[in-house]
Amino acid sequence: MFLRDKHLKCKCCGCEACEFVCEPHALQMETDEEGFSYPILSEEKCTKCNYCTTVCPLESVPNKVDEELQGILAVRLNDKEKLMQSQSGGAFTALAEVAFAEVAIVYGVALIDREAVYIRCESLEQLPPVKGSKYVQAELRDTYKQIKSDLQKGLTVLFVGTPCYVHGLFSWLDFLKVDTSRLCGVDLVCFGVASPLIVKEYLQYLDRHYKVRISEYNYRDKAFGWKGSYESFRVNGKLEFRRSLLAKLYNDRLSIRPSCYFCNYTSFDRVSDITIGDFWGIEKIHPELDDNKGVSLVMVNTSKGREWFEKIKDNLTIEVSNREDCAQPRLKSPSMLPKVRALFWNDYRNNSFDALIEKYAYDSFAKRVVGFFLRLLSK
């Protein structure tokens, strides 16, 4: 039961590779009081094979990427309708479309019954739930095993996830000696993953506020611009917008996983074939692209990544960039551990969620903005 130690939790990203590789099933994922899952060891079943540490992505470091070979680009989908459906510049949509054109399988995260889970998509019709960032730790379930099966059948696979999940997948497959030449791993410039528990509680909070179960929740809607933090959802069929209080908890780093404060993947050295994210600061580098509708940062890290990018470039507006111009906080260092994190979780355990939101998500400026915004929408 060693992973119940709070200090060791900082060394686990929850990728589940260790559980998948453990043949005696001595490791089982269990959810803690913050809503994050950790592998818990049964000493009686453990054979001391150390396979779990062998595949653990946090036991190794990201691949060193040659700066001269790494392609760093600012990209935006040319299709304006599809661009507005994405939460950045549409790089993921472009990759998924070319994957389906080549009869590949795409894995990404969807919000299903208020839970973020990885799903397997075989066609464009299945893609919409996967579009858009979820900003929450997603459940893998059998995703790794499904990808292994797809690869062994000779299928091409595109897997999009956090860097630690991509690393965990490749590490597990390499350990099993599965050919990954047909697997394209796409990771994210990641701020951290929020607690599934907090996200679920927040959606219930919105239910209480609107006195109905909301649907079609979008964490970050671009209707009022790419750079804003507005959420959208449907109430009795009507689309509603409001300043995102969930984003406030996330951006203040209160709800993210402990290991995210010690992340190994906050640099230009990557574990993936392609890295995607928001190109923050684009207005300073390429102001002609800054129409507040979204621009993606794309980092092409491997020869396989270059092959994939060659297939999508005709659908994109592209500007070549470099490490200096695209550098942003999560390419330099992990999210900083906030001093009030322990207090936040203590308040969560001992107070109502409404009180938690009032204390940590609202501030005087936010209250004025939300009030003005809601009054404007009601006219």
Please measure the distance between the N-terminal and C-terminal CA atoms of the chain and give it in whole angstroms: 57
Which residues have CB under 8 Å from 209's CB, separation 6+? none
Enumerate residue ranges in the chain where pLDDT < 70. Answer: 1-7, 363-379
Q: Report whether 115 contacts 196 (CB < 8 A).
A: yes
Q: Is 216 exposed, middle or buried (0-12, 13-18, 19+ CB in 10 A)?
A: exposed
Q: Per residue in 154-203, pLDDT tens?
A: 999 999 999 999 999 999 999 999 999 999 999 999 999 999 999 999 99
CA 249, 255, 257, 262 dihedral sign is positive
pLDDT attached to residue 376: 53
Distance, in Å, from the CA atom of 235 to the CA atom of 309, rounded to the nearest integer, reads: 39
Q: Whole-model pTM?
A: 0.92
For domain 2-59, the CATH architecture is 2-Layer Sandwich (3.30)
Where does CATH 3.30.70.3270 sit in the chain?
A: 2-59
Q: Report whether 148 contacts 205 (CB < 8 A).
A: no
pLDDT attached to residue 63: 86
296-300 and 230-235 as β-strands: parallel, antiparallel, unpaired? unpaired
Comparing C-alpha atoms, which of 239, 250, 306, 291 is closest to residue 76?
A: 291
Both tokens assigned to 23: 């043949």
Both tokens assigned to 95: 């990759």
- 173 Rama class: left (phi>0) / alpha (psi -120 to 50) / beta: alpha
Q: Is 200 exposed, middle or buried (0-12, 13-18, 19+ CB in 10 A)?
A: middle
DSSP 89: S
Distance, in Å, from the CA atom of 266 to the CA atom of 147, rounded to the nearest integer, reads: 26
